[in-house]
Amino acid sequence: MRMRLLEMVTTFVLLLVLHPPFLKTVESLNFNITNFNDPESERNMAYIGDGKARNGSVELNIVDYLFRVGRALYAKPLHLWDQSSGVLTDFTTRFTFTIDRDKNKNGTYADGFAFYIAPHGYPIPPNSGGGTFALFNTTSNTFIRHNHVLAVEFDTYNGTIDPPMQHVGIDDNSLVSVTSGKFDIDKNLGKKCNVLITYTSSSKTLFVAWSFNGTATSHSNSSLSYTIDLMEILPEWVDVGFSASTGEFTEHNVIYTWDFSSTLNSDASDNSSGGGNGKRKVWVIALATSSAVLVAVVVSVAVWAMMRKKRRDKVDKSNDGEGGANLVKFDLDRATIPRRFDYRELLAATNGFADDRKLGRGASGQVYKGILSDLGRVVAVKRIFAKFANSERVFINEVRVISRLIHRNLVQFVGWCHEQGEFLLLFEYMPNGSLDTHLFGDKKPLTWDVRYKVALGVAAAVRYLHEDAEQCYVKGNVMDVVDERLNKEFNVDEMRSLIIVGLWCTNPNDKERPKAAQVIKVLELEAPLPELPLDMHDCFPPSLVTYSEQPNFQSIQTLPFTDSFINVGR
């Protein structure tokens, strides 16, 4: 064993001397693609989701279905900064693109696309259709470096989270742009836009310029800049590319050309020349060799210690320390949806439950708009009335039931809070209001296509609640549904008869429903109560269960037990 260990150490020393890591060459990334279908470009590009090369360009989305995602990225990662030298790269990229609505459709189009930089291998999060550019979803843990994303978005959706206009924005790990400028795409649909993006490591400045009239330059009128240290927020190796998603509306996002160049300026500190360079190389090699020997000794000691450790009793893994465990727990807690929120956090999010944040009023509480600044997310906060009868039971029941419901056509339950005598529930915020305002209000009427997709969405959600969701009700006494405001001032037999008859009359099988004469006899207590099958309402009309093969859509989002909102845009 000792001889084998000696051989391993000797080999390791030779490798370190002949190929010292301290002399590792830093590679820059340089390419220029004018035809994405040529053989070299096809080898160097990678596509995820709907992204694909076609007719020499890149199409990020298909428009035949709703809520689609697609990416196109360079297959080789970018060496953003070098750990050994601490040097951060400069880079410059240019690309041309068009955004256009589907020729077969008129009116609204959405949601845009983004140029992004993310940790190498960063996947498309599940359920990231809509206005997320396929970069985030509701459970993305953006508090750790290996989930951090920097993006330049070309946003075509007039929403409420970002500036309420079509815009170009810089996104620092959030869909809320840290800085933005007007994106005049309505007048330029189908017209090529030229983009320039640069990053200067010395000033930590990210610069973006775009133009529909000729080449974008550093002097373009349409431009943005933002100071950010990429070494602080991103890992050493990152992916660069384009990412897009569609929601209730679609659009064509096409990339035509793309060039990229970077350099870590690894020789920037090497200002001398001639003999000075030769002497420096000698010193570097000598330093590398001696360092290699030192590393070899350290490795030998480490190997010996590991062998000795194997002969000892196993060490309790819990001794790793509570600090790291707490950090992991913190990250997991922040990533978990739904989760518990702090009352002070929600107080700040709703501006102290200010009147101008009120969204509506339900049977059991008031709903407020809340902005969770640390998550970069807007939510609807339901505040259950303190004087509402059985408010605690209502709160507990809603948390227990809603937390188990996960479906693309149901508004997502984000979390809850029970502090300071308050009962608070958090839901995904629907910026376009409730469905009834679109159907019966003064807003622009919904087209038939949208209305039909809403109906399909409702059917899919109801099917989920009836057939696929966990049991979300408690089997018990039918008398539990009695209006508590009656204060038990009613005839129990009459009440039971009325409830049973109601269930009987709503039998999904119309042939099993009672005749009017039967109803009257039961209500007048002249006939016995019918024996209703326990699974009577598990039956489901066949016409509503044929949509499993429909495209993925979110035509309607239903806020459980509160108000309903329709996600017409995102």
Residues 196 and 295 in one domain: no
**Residues of the binding site for ATP:** 382
Residue 559 lies in a domain: yes
Is residue 380 one of the residues assigned to a domain?
yes
Mean pLDDT score, 219-228: 86
Beta strands in 75-141 (DSSP E): 78-79, 81-82, 87-88, 90-100, 112-119
Please state which of the ranges 152-161, 291-300, 410-419 shows the lowest mean pLDDT: 291-300
Written as six digits, the tokens of 293 are 């020997």
Classify residue 74: in a domain, yes or no.
Answer: yes
Residue 94's pLDDT is 97
Same domain, 288 and 355: no
Distant-in-sequence contacts of 371-378, Cβ < 8 A, 24+ apart: 372/345, 373/348, 373/349, 375/142, 376/142, 376/173, 376/174, 376/175, 376/176, 377/138, 377/414, 377/429, 378/160, 378/161, 378/429, 378/431
Does the pLDDT of residue 204 top 90, yes or no?
yes
What is the SS3 assignment for 562? coil
Using a 10 angstrom Cβ sphere, with 0-12 exposed, 13-18 middle and 19 or more buried, the burial of residue 78 is: buried
164 part of a folded domain: yes
% of the chain beyond a pLDDT of 70: 69
Where is pLDDT greater, at 513 or 363? Answer: 513
313-324 per-position pLDDT tens digit: 444 444 444 444
What is the pLDDT confidence band of residue 7, given thresholds at 50, 70 and 90?
Answer: low
pLDDT at 336: 59
Question: What are the Cα distances from residue 532, in Å, to 499, 505, 524, 537?
Answer: 12, 11, 19, 10
In a domain, 345, yes or no: yes
Q: How many domains does the chain have?
A: 4
More confident residue, 102 or 69: 69
Which string of DSSP letters, residue by residue, matches 492-541?
Answer: HHHHHHHHHHHHHHT-SSGGGSPPHHHHHHHHTTSSPPP---TTGGG---
* 377, 504: one domain: no
Indicate whether 522 and 490 sit together in one domain.
yes
Work out the pLDDT band at 68, boundaries 50, 70, 90.
Answer: confident
Question: Is 315 inside any structural domain?
Answer: no
Q: Are residues 123 and 186 in the same domain?
A: yes
Same domain, 83 and 156: yes
195 and 228 inside one domain:
yes
**Residue 167: how many CB atoms within 10 A of its CB?**
23
Same domain for 412 and 494, yes or no, is no
Instruction: Tell me the pLDDT band of 298, cut-offs 50, 70 and 90.
Output: low
Same domain, 74 and 222: yes
Question: Which domain covers residue 518, as residue numbers?
Answer: 478-533
CATH for 420: 3.30.200.20
- Segment 80-128, tens digit of pLDDT: 999 888 899 999 999 999 999 876 566 778 888 999 999 998 888 887 7
Same-domain check for residues 404 and 496: no
Binding-site residues: 382
325: in domain? no
- 12 and 38 both lie in a single domain: no
More confident residue, 295 or 223: 223
Q: Which one has a higher pLDDT value, 332 or 554?
A: 332
Residues 245 and 287 in one domain: no
Asked if pLDDT for residue 529 goes beyond 90, the answer is: no
